[in-house]
Structure 1
């Protein structure tokens, strides 16, 4: 097969995928007449009609269906190969749309963006703060920061780390009400619960220590869909909170909260960057993911308290 023959085949595949000569010509940046000639040349070379043409639509003949199914993957591989080479040449640029839970976006992602843009000044950031699991393709989102188990297997993902979780209280609360030593003690304490604790039967904290697991039914005095909204009540001595060590780090360092239930912890929460699947990532996405892996530190450096 000569190079011109291959170009004609790619033109045919693009016409079928796009559903019209007009759309395919626009995608290939070719005059419509040129594209039509390429498909006619291909049919002449093969000696058989591949497309039914009408004024309103195109359709595949039986031969066209067979040829399209065999050649579509070849055309896609060539397109991906050209894209891969272009990635090595092109610098990251353009708008990068990122969705993240509100608290994590405000506390972690947004403060890092000036440093990211210092390295990649041609990239602009559009942050979408939401608790919802947004459809990345429908919303034209490049990267989603997601906590917990991944749901959509059609998406690619890169793990950023894991968030450990413990129960916290303000020193003032412990001074007034004492500190629980065992999960069974929680029934006598005020608790502040986020949406992650919701179950069909109520609010539950699952805590474990050395292989022992307890599901603790709560009667919370306050709930919130955003864990960040519970922190003011926690700091004011309003009750106990099950929170990530990462989110509590600054408050522990300042002596505003302490861990309770020594040795007991909830399961870690995985943190992933999720993005539409594909063998080749756009430079702006690849650079952003590498930056997050290098800069996000989920370690618990605060002293025990």
Structure 2
């Protein structure tokens, strides 16, 4: 039995919840993965997994074994990576997931710099506004905004993104320029954003001194994509409250006019996230370090 490979197979099955998905990620035949786990259980003389036609769950012994071996396996791979990085340049594929506008406006335009440093690294970018599942989709890392809900993930801070509230000149000419956030509740229309998956709509929150205002407002259109959100605002369908880096080119061109600038909205924290038990290879570590460096120097990203 290849003990190292067997432990890797067991861990991937636990993370993905599937023998087939684990086999796909490891580029092995499902029967090979099954035999590896069977050999591991025979070696340990305990049952690690409960298997049915629909699901895979850990036994009590399997839970303990997974927790302990994950730490050992991660450290093992980390030591190997530290040795390897001194011998060769990073190479191979990195799969990363991020929001559409983060990809198109912040990351992709800067990638020539990354590839100049690491020409043998390929980047596969999943660009969408949905929340990807790192384990089941075999994603190396993701860029996420907001407060992280999953405390089991490891996050490196990239900075924070300030908001701006704006509308087209034609919209403001027709409806007036709001001087107080409360005015958005009556006489104005908002473009609303709802999050893919949950359907939850964004809430506009403003602060000025000790005054805090939450705005729901009336809307004529709601979308679940950041590019569509910008398009709706540019079409004059309402006031938008968006990240400044998205709106700034249109503000500079005169297509958007900022409003309520004396009112502050809490900047959106931004992080690059990966699983604690998913070892960062040399190439992934190089990409994550580059992201941290790149965002720290970006003019639209706050510390």
Same structural fold, with TM-score higher than 0.5 when normalized by the shorter chain: yes
**2:44 aligned with 1:60:** yes
What SS does the aligned partner of 1:293 have?
A: helix
Tell me, in whole angstroms, the C-alpha distance in 2 between the residues paired with 1:295 and 1:213: 33
Report the CA distance between 1:152 and its aligned residue: 2.2
Rg larger in structure = 1
CA contact (8 A) 1:202 1:217 kept: no
Report the CA distance between 1:156 and its aligned residue: 1.5
- Aligned with residue 93 of structure 2, among 95, 118, 121: 95
Tell me, in whole angstroms, the C-alpha distance in 1 between the residues paired with 2:71 and 2:95: 31
TM alignment of 1:246-257, pairs within 5 A? 246-257=245-256
After superposition, the Cα gap between the structure-2 partners of 1:175 and 1:87, relative to the gap in structure 1 and judged at 3 Å, is: same
Report the CA distance between 1:165 and its aligned residue: 1.2
CA contact (8 A) 2:141 2:273 kept: yes
After superposition, the Cα gap between the structure-2 partners of 1:189 and 1:92, relative to the gap in structure 1 and judged at 3 Å, is: same
CA contact (8 A) 1:161 1:298 kept: no
Match of residue 281 from structure 1? 280
Tell me, in whole angstroms, the C-alpha distance in 2 between the residues paired with 1:267 and 1:101: 19
Match of residue 238 from structure 2? 239
Report the CA distance between 1:298 and its aligned residue: 5.0
What SS does the aligned partner of 1:84 have?
A: helix
Tell me, in whole angstroms, the C-alpha distance in 2 between the residues paired with 1:151 and 1:264: 27
Tell me, in whole angstroms, the C-alpha distance in 2 between the residues paired with 1:55 and 1:261: 65
CA contact (8 A) 2:161 2:243 kept: yes
Report the CA distance between 1:160 and its aligned residue: 0.9
Tell me, in whole angstroms, the C-alpha distance in 1 between the residues paired with 2:193 and 2:95: 27
Match of residue 295 from structure 1? 294
CA contact (8 A) 2:161 2:300 kept: no
Tell me, in whole angstroms, the C-alpha distance in 1 between the residues paired with 2:70 and 2:113: 40
Match of residue 178 from structure 1? 176
Match of residue 219 from structure 1? 218
More displaced 10-residue stretch of structure 1: 166-175 or 155-164 = 166-175
CA contact (8 A) 1:87 1:282 kept: no
What SS does the aligned partner of 2:115 have?
A: helix
**Structure 2 unmatched ranges of 5 or more:** 11-25, 27-37, 47-60
After superposition, the Cα gap between the structure-2 partners of 1:278 and 1:91, relative to the gap in structure 1 and judged at 3 Å, is: farther
Match of residue 38 from structure 1? none
**Structure 1 unmatched ranges of 5 or more:** 1-10, 21-26, 28-53
Match of residue 23 from structure 2? none
Aligned-pair Cα RMSD in Å: 3.5
The normalised TM-score by structure 2 is 0.71
